Amino acid sequence: MSSVNIAIVGLGFGAEFIPIYQRHPNANMYAICQRTPEKLNAIGDAFGVEKRYADYDELLADPNVDAVHINSPIHNHAEQSLKALRAGKHVACTVPMATTVEECKEIVRACNESGKKYMMMETVVYSREFLFVKELYEKGELGKVQFLKASHQQDMDGWPGYWPGLPPMHYATHCVGPVAGLLKLEAEYVSCFGSGTIREELIKHYNSPFAIESAHIKFKDSDLSANVYRSLFDVARQYRESFEVYGSKKSFEWPLIEGEEAVIHTAKKEEHEIPARVTVPDYGHLLPSEISDFTTKGVYDLDENSHLSFVQGSGHGGSHPHLVHEFVSAIIEDRDPFPNAWQSANWTSVGILAHESAMQGGKLMNLPDYQNL
């Protein structure tokens, strides 16, 4: 296979990816799917995509569709992923993979049975900051990694639909992904505590009271653990997706304020010389030239048309073209993408089980062995 026919499902955030697929040398932006005909046609006309579906099942019945990229609401992810895998389509899906551990298991099994690729499109593990730390690690500059930490704090007041009152850890992959992904570790068990209380009108949606949930993750066959924390409501904080790694030679810390430089700490220097601010470079050079400039700009020229998740997240660290390239390349090369199905299930389940742990006062929760279902 030299080219992959892609269908994008969901055209809010999903529309950000259309021109990236259109310009990727091994992808054909074949079809789009949106249940609202007016929006479907508006996006189709804007980007020149002729094949359009308002019905997801009809799209899956199209034999020309090789792969679907799902950008629908969270509660649709598992159902739509399973339908696509069972219809013989490769699947890329925005985060999280699913809303229950059982759904995660079902997707991993469906992936194994179908032989198709599944990739959770976790932005942070393709952000320029993550790629910078990954490069430091692979060059040996960090030394022995001793601890990892990540956070995702966002004010979700005013977001529609299912967002009000969502338990913080139910949307945790932006902080779980980087701490697990740097060394390709598998979370074995997790313990989580809730802190604070959100407004009563928010609590009633999910019976989840906590303003912040903070979890510790123990990794399998490793001496490492990680701390991740999340907040969504009633916490004063600028948007922040942070990732920090502490090594024996160097450590990397995310800036406290958006737009500031990150900090590298280097061991065995004079105390005042240990920290140094560093400008994280762009990694567009890792991509085909046709899509490399998408690391530094959004799809739309006018800010008012950009999806809020893109604006708040500062373009998700330039990750979008990297995600597209990894998904398409995995299909072309017939290999597992990163993250693959079991890794995606592991990262997603950390958040699901962390919330269960918080509701039970920090109880240790073991994760399923997704590699051996």
**Tens-place pLDDT, residues 137-157:** 999 999 999 999 999 999 999
Q: What is the pLDDT of residues 17-68, one digit of tens each?
A: 999 999 999 999 999 999 999 999 999 999 999 999 999 999 999 999 999 9
Instruction: Summarize pLDDT for 187-235 with one digit per residue, the tens.
Output: 999 999 999 999 999 999 999 999 999 999 999 999 999 999 999 999 9
Confidence at residue 296, expressed as pLDDT on a 0 to 100 scale: 82
User: What pLDDT score was predicted for residue 206?
Assistant: 97
**What domains are there in the chain, each with its CATH number?**
4-121 (3.40.50.720), 124-321+350-366 (3.30.360.10)
**Do residues 317 and 127 make contact, with C-beta atoms less than 8 angstroms apart?**
yes
Confidence of residue 300 (pLDDT cuts 50, 70, 90): very low
Q: What is the pLDDT of residue 113?
A: 98
311 falls in which pLDDT band (50, 70, 90)?
very low
In this prediction, residues 317-322 reach a mean pLDDT of 93
pTM of the model: 0.94
Q: What is the 3-state secondary structure (H, E, C) of the chain?
A: CCCEEEEEECCCHHHHHHHHHHHCCCEEEEEEECCCHHHHHHHHHHHCCCEEECCHHHHHCCCCCCEEEECCCHHHHHHHHHHHHHCCCEEEECCCCCCCHHHHHHHHHHHHHHCCCEEECCCHHHCHHHHHHHHHHHCCCCCCEEEEEEEEECCCCCCCCCCCCCCHHHHCHHHHHHHHHCCCCCEEEEEEEEECCCCHHHHHHHCCCCCEEEEEEEECCCCCEEEEEEECCCCCCCCEEEEEEEECCEEEECCCCCCCCEEEEECCCCHHHCEEEECCCCCHHHCCCCCHHHHCCCCCCCHHHCCHHHHHCHHHHHCHHHHHHHHHHHHHHCCCCCCCHHHHHHHHHHHHHHHHHHHCCCCCEECCCHHHC
Specify whether the CB–CB gap between 33 and 41 falls below 8 A.
no
